[in-house]
Structure 1
């Protein structure tokens, strides 16, 4: 289910179901830019509930920065490395570039060890 048309059809079906149930439809986030553009410009309408409408706007505004950690034998270690780097920066223990360099080394080591 990767084509934009398939995602759009699913979003329309979900919107119809939510409407019949009297529930708010905040949309279907697909990761497919074309589908998301159509879904959020044509399928999802303001609900009249500020919290939901604001949430949709917020998520749409940050989608370009989203990412997924790909499947890997070292996925947990990879995730821990970059999260620890962020924490070191937030705690003032490291500068961002230094923290990311360390995270890169830790993640690469974990990947290398997992794939040997």
Structure 2
């Protein structure tokens, strides 16, 4: 079973994402900010990360840069899931190491199609 870390400061978003991912047969772990997500990745690296951009403590882009520079951090497939929709943000995310980008609000169909595009399902 593949694992996915859902990183978002919204409990509601984490809950919705968890339900979608569990229906896709993923083992799901959650983190409320980038710093908590880094700690979880250091304990056990997930196969995928569904990542919000705007969070307290450490935002998504800073988390992604830290993840990609850490041992084993190149392995997880990272899918940004955010309201940031301007082209410069998307380019910045991809240059920092994101594999794909989902706009909020999202649904099961969108998550499944993006995860299929990056080879997770």
TM-score tier, shorter chain, comes to under 0.3
Greater CA radius of gyration, 1 or 2? 1
The structure where strand makes up a greater share of residues is 2
The structure where helix makes up a greater share of residues is 1
TM-score by length of 2: 0.27
More relative contact order, 1 or 2 (CA 8 Å, 6+ apart): 2
TM-score by length of 1: 0.28
